[in-house]
């Protein structure tokens, strides 16, 4: 039973500078009124439980879900770690660099789990928070699990995404061209002016078996 899991905590970090600012100033995600605001945690809990109960005729999990959120979740507000949405902060960059140099992935059998990088948009920021918590004396005997929901697979269909992207407005091209792949484990870039699709397709995965080569 979740109610008996003493000491169990789920830690989360908003990755948009606007929302982490609201969390720091007013505790936005923990306030009851946020359930009326789409993309907030409480709104997602209420809307998902309602759909499960009313549309899918499933169990009513609202009470236990709210219990978990209010008693087992810690929403962080470290604005210096979040930085600006869409890229690394100094602290997330340091965490990603540490993982590039010393990180190791294994499967459940201890075998090599392949390559994984920590992106500056999301994962490196929460990874930095976890590293700080792991260094605290009171946590020395605790087990930590980094739950990474961003897939390692960058999927491709049988559509030619490069040709389609060329048709996007210039402002979209500019945004893509300015993106940096900083991790040594993710060698890929988008350059709509002087590059080709080969600059990034090597890190993508054909999910149809017939993607354009």
- Confidence band of 179 (pLDDT split at 50, 70, 90): confident
pTM: 0.79
Average pLDDT of the residues of the chain: 89
pLDDT value of residue 148 = 76
Question: Residue 189 above 60 pLDDT?
Answer: yes
pLDDT value of residue 14 = 94
Among candidates 83, 151, 89, 91, which has minimal Cα distance to 117?
A: 151
List Cα–Cα distances, 129 to 12, 124, 151, in angstroms: 9, 9, 20
Q: What whole-number distance in Å separates Cα of residue 6 and Cα of residue 72? A: 9
pLDDT in tens, 61-106: 999 999 999 999 999 999 999 999 888 999 999 999 999 999 888 8
The pLDDT of 102-123, averaged and rounded, is: 85
pLDDT value of residue 2 = 60
Residue 192 contacts residue 176 (beta carbons within 8 Å): yes
Tokens of 170: 């210039």
Question: Residue 175 above 70 pLDDT?
Answer: yes
């Amino acid at each position: 039973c979740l109610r008996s899991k003493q000491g169990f905590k789920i830690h989360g970090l908003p990755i948009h500078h606007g929302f982490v600012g609201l969390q720091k100033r007013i505790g936005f995600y923990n306030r009851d009124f946020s359930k009326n605001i789409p993309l907030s945690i409480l709104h997602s809990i209420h809307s998902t439980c309602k759909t499960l109960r009313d549309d899918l005729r499933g169990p009513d999990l609202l009470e236990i879900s709210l219990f978990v959120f209010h008693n087992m979740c810690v929403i962080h507000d470290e604005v210096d770690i979040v930085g600006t949405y869409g890229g690394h902060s100094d602290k997330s960059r340091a965490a990603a660099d540490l993982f590039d140099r010393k990180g190791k992935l294994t499967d459940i059998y201890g075998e090599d789990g392949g390559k994984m990088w920590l992106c500056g948009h999301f994962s490196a920021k929460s990874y930095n928070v976890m590293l700080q918590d792991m260094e605290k004396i009171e946590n020395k005997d605790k087990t930590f699990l980094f739950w990474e929901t961003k897939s390692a697979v960058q999927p491709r269909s049988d559509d030619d995404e490069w040709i389609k992207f060329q048709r996007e407005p210039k402002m979209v091209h500019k945004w893509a061209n300015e993106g940096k792949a900083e991790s040594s484990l993710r060698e890929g870039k988008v350059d709509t002016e002087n590059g080709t699709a080969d600059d990034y397709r090597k890190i993508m995965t054909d999910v149809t078996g017939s993607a354009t080569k």
